[in-house]
Amino acid sequence: MNEWEWLTDTIPIGQRDAVSMSHLARVHNLSDRKMRREVEKARKAGNLICSSDKGYFMPETIADIREYASREGSRIRTGRACLKPFLRELRRAGIG
């Protein structure tokens, strides 16, 4: 058993069977916040846990992986764009 099987074994394969964060949290007796952190740690460890508006799932196809990577990349780019003016202001203030 790898370190993350306790989690990945409870996440269905394929988007059509995706489960909500609150479902995972209940199954593992964790708060939603703690469960999100565990999913994040599992992803950082290399586990391909996808999410969509339908919930969390393990990828069934390369298309699932591509779709998740595209969505996550877009989210990151948007976050960077929103952060830029704040960093610019800190530099102007001599802080950043």
3-class DSSP assignment, residue 55: strand
Answer CATH for 5-92 from 1.10.3470, 1.10.1330, 1.10.10, 3.90.25: 1.10.10
pLDDT value, residue 52: 95
Using alpha carbons, select from 89, 12, 86, 1 the residue that is nearest to residue 54.
12
pLDDT at 2: 80
What local confidence, expressed as pLDDT, does residue 93 receive?
95
Tell me which residue of 62, 69, 54, 64 sits closest to 17, measured CA to CA: 54
Global pTM value:
0.86
**For residue 81, what pLDDT is reported?**
97
- Chunked into runs of 10 residues, the chain (96 residues) has average pLDDT values of 90 97 97 97 97 97 97 96 96 88
